[in-house]
Amino acid sequence: MAGKYPSVVIAGTSSGCGKTTVTLGVMAALCKREVKVQPFKCGPDFIDPSLHRQVTGRVSRNLDVRMCGAEYVHNVFADHAPEDGISIVEGVMGLFDGGLGSAAHLAGLLDIPVLLVVDVRSAAESVAAVVKGFETFADGIRVVGVILNRVGSERHRQMIADAVQLHCRAEIIGALPRDRRITLPSRHLGLHMGTEVQLNRKRLIEFMEKHLNLDRLQVLAAQARYSAPVNSKPEIGKAHPIHTVRLGLARDESFCFYYRDNLDMLKQAGAEIVVFSPLHDRELPADLDGLYLGGGYPELHAATLAANRSMREEINKFSESGRPVYGECGGFMYLTDSIIDFRGTEYPMAGVFPVKARMGKRLRRLGYRQVELQDDTLFGPQGTFCYGHEFHYSEIDPMPTWIERAYVLDDGRAEGYRIRNTLAGYVHLHWGRTPEAVRNFINMMKA
């Protein structure tokens, strides 16, 4: 029985199969048809949602069961999935990669069908074996459609199509030929942010319209069986109260990694979000009660950040005043004495923490984190648990012992550091499972 929220998960057989490009193309082509497209991203990623927003004009929401819990994911989906449009959920890595955080787990939880993107450039009939394996690997996962990517020729396509039709339940709804003009640029943390990418929207739409059956995709999306739970509380992003505090949010090319749900929860709890740019503004906005410096790419803009001495000094003084400051990952790096970039060049930063942040050529940390607070902090009393994700190529010098270690992670590492009411660390926190952390942050700014 079809549900009332048309939706599909676009997943891949592995990373690098082209699912982000396919996802963006599907979204763009459906938007051209004036379909209301609501984007979602499986997992903790910041970059893909920014690309989704560029294409659809709508905020893309993260759906991360491992980081936020199943109830929260249900609430977010129920709140934003349109009944009169279509929800497109982009997967992460391969369909089954990640266990509890996988695209397969999410598709099963929400009971929505899967479209499988397969890179076929080095295979023919064997593609049917791959599709068959994905169809039968786990109960409750409905792989209903296949999108062949990087097809070499019409004969190549026909060989694959004959084998899939013979051996598989899923139908081929698209066969995308190799085209070097349909690509997305990448760097050390993944693809470029949506605000930095100039997509050739017309070419992408024409490509999808020619090689993908959009009508059939919409029919398959209507097979979604999602129903909002009876106890669902679809409140994310709704009903902001009267503002009680002013929170300065660092947002520019250097600081761009924020979960939109976190910002919505801050607004709901009474924060007026006041955006400023450590790159371009010379001073902080007036009458701020706290600062929030998210992640991003300070290492790519270190020279400009360093040249903005007045802003660095203002943020240092703000921290010295004892008002709440929170920095994570790139924001943490900015709060150190200096950043040493990939070339070994050192640039002075805000100087709150007396260490240097050094960029490396290899990935230092990657994975989900459970954070236990070791003392009363911005986000709650000692013993409070928060949840997030860590992904960075930089590392900091050994932190002096006199600086408080604010967190213990589930792998036993001490992480997160506090000076006065300034808290910073590498973990990107999501407050979906811990809304009390948001309330505590607001209360600290009120004090």
Which residue numbers are catalytic? 329
Rounded CA-CA distance 447/444 in Å is 5
Residue 386 and residue 429: Cα distance in Å, rounded?
Answer: 7
Check: CB of residue 348 under 8 Å from CB of residue 306: yes
Q: Which of 81, 72, 85, 89 is nearest to 35 (CA)?
A: 85
Nearest alpha-carbon partner for 66 in 35, 45, 85? 45
Question: CB of 22 within 8 A of CB of 147?
Answer: yes
Taking every pair of Cα atoms in the chain, the longest distance, rounded to a whole number of angstroms, is: 71
63 vs 48: CA distance, rounded Å: 12
Please give the radius of gyration of the chain, using alpha carbons only, rounded to the nearest integer.
Answer: 23
Sheet of 143-151, strands arranged across:
61-63, 37-42, 86-94, 7-12, 114-119, 143-151, 171-177
At 226, the amino acid letter reads Y
